[in-house]
Amino acid sequence: MEESPVKILTIESSCDETAAAIVNERREVLAAVVASQIGIHERFGGVVPEIASRAHQERILPVLSEVFLQSGLTPRDLDAVAVVNTPGLAGSLLVGLSAAKALALAAELPLIAINHLQAHIYACRVAYKEELFPCLGLIVSGGHSSLYRCQGPIDFTPLGTTIDDAAGEAFDKVAAMLSLPYPGGPAISRLAEQGNPKAFAFPRPMLDDPDRLQFSFSGLKTAVRYAITGPGRRECQDVDLSTQQRADLAASFQEAVVDTLVGKTLHALKKTSLSTVCIGGGVAANKRFRDKMTAAALRHNFRLFIAPMNLCTDNAIMGAIALERYKAGLFESLSLDILPGLVRD
């Protein structure tokens, strides 16, 4: 009789999505569920950590029930349970980790730890079914803007990260200045379609030095604020902007972020001599970013994989990276802990 393929349950609760999926060793998705908390955090203009962890507590069991229902499997049909334990919000990570440990104990399953950032890059491996490594990894999300040399799926060396705001965070904050809803990325992107990306000459932060692979979006955010308010001390919301001015601000800001991300990627390719780029994270869903990065790949002749739209923002399918640890025999004990901060290994 043919042996049934390895099946792993993956759990993601690092920020504001409660997600679970079941994948098999061929990286096929047998079930996947994401319960978003956008509706809860919207009115605060960003994720409120305490509210996020409470919402994860309410959602984790229904989300798990749903993946078992969708797949027609029970915990005893699984070969392992995997969970994101780093990086993320402490209270949020704890909810997923506790659920994973309970399942591992009850169904006598091995426990696997997932690094959320490595998983964002692995979304490309799941989607494109091609060998990606070694590659340059770019993660652009609400919490991270980072470049990595990725020797393998679980072997990353950091090359540069943000010294202040992440790219997605800048999108969210500029959106708030323009009275757009949270999350700001999709709203800015829609508004920018009607705007002129050259209307405002915003800075492309730290792009002049090819050896510096760090990002910084805080100054750009302040430049947008001053473009709206002028030199006075007014609040952005008190300034009367025309529809065209708002669209021009959105388009010019977006262009500055996109140019910076593309420019830094080119610097990193030169520095590392890598020829493949893999990109994941919520900001990678941005259309202008995808278009300009694709054009850069053609011009500079590198292989480019950007996670498909549905796998850019947080999800558990990218947790298929657990298969790599399963194959390598990298299992955790039930004393596995969360590591909320970035691990620099």
The site for ligand KG4 (CB under 6 A) is made up of 15, 141-143, 168, 171-172, 183-186, 189, 281-283, 285-286, 313-314
Binding-site partner at residue 162 among ligand KG4, Zn ion, none, CB < 5 to 8 Å by type: none
The structure tokens listed for 298 are 């053609």
Q: How far is the CB of 321 from Zn ion (least distance, A)?
A: 13
CA-to-CA distance for 113 and 172, rounded, in angstroms? 30
189 contact choice in ligand KG4, Zn ion, none (CB below 5 to 8 Å, kind-dependent)? ligand KG4
For residue 210, whether the previous peptide bond is cis, meaning omega lies within 30 degrees of 0, is: no
For the bound state, the minimum distance from the C-beta of residue 16 to ligand KG4, rounded and expressed in Å, comes to 8
Q: Which one among 16, 17, 172, 314 touches Zn ion, defined by CB under 5 A?
A: 314
Question: Which residues, 6+ apart, have CB-to-CB distance to 336 below 8 Å?
Answer: 85, 97, 101, 111, 113
Residue closer to ligand KG4 (CB basis): 103 or 191: 191
Residue 340 interacting entry, from ligand KG4, Zn ion, none, C-beta within 5 to 8 Å by type: none
Which of ligand KG4, Zn ion, none sits in contact with 205, Cβ below 5 to 8 A by type?
none
Closest distance of CB 183 from ligand KG4, Å:
4
Q: How far is the CB of 36 from ligand KG4 (least distance, A)?
A: 9
Q: Report how far residue 21's alpha carbon sits from residue 34's, in angstroms, rounded to the nearest whole number.
A: 9
Q: Is 141 in the site for Zn ion (CB under 5 A)?
A: yes
Residue type, 166: A
Give the Cα separation of 213 and 228 in Å (integer). 29
Question: How many CA atoms are closer than 13 Å to the CA of 53, on its beta-carbon side?
Answer: 12
Shortest distance (Å) from residue 141 CB to ligand KG4:
3
Nearer to ligand KG4, 225 or 271 (CB): 225
Q: Which of 160, 185 has the CB closer to ligand KG4?
A: 185
Q: Which lies closer to Zn ion via its Cβ, residue 289 or residue 302?
A: 289
- φ, ψ at 315 (rounded to 5°): -160, 170
CA distance 279 to 268: 13
- Find the shortest distance in angstroms from Cβ 133 to ligand KG4: 21
> Residues 38, 183: contact at Cβ < 8 Å?
yes
Q: Which DSSP string do the residues of 249-274 spell out, in sequence order?
A: HHHHHHHHHHHHHHHHHHHHHHHHT-
Residues in contact with Zn ion by the rule CB under 5 A: 141, 314
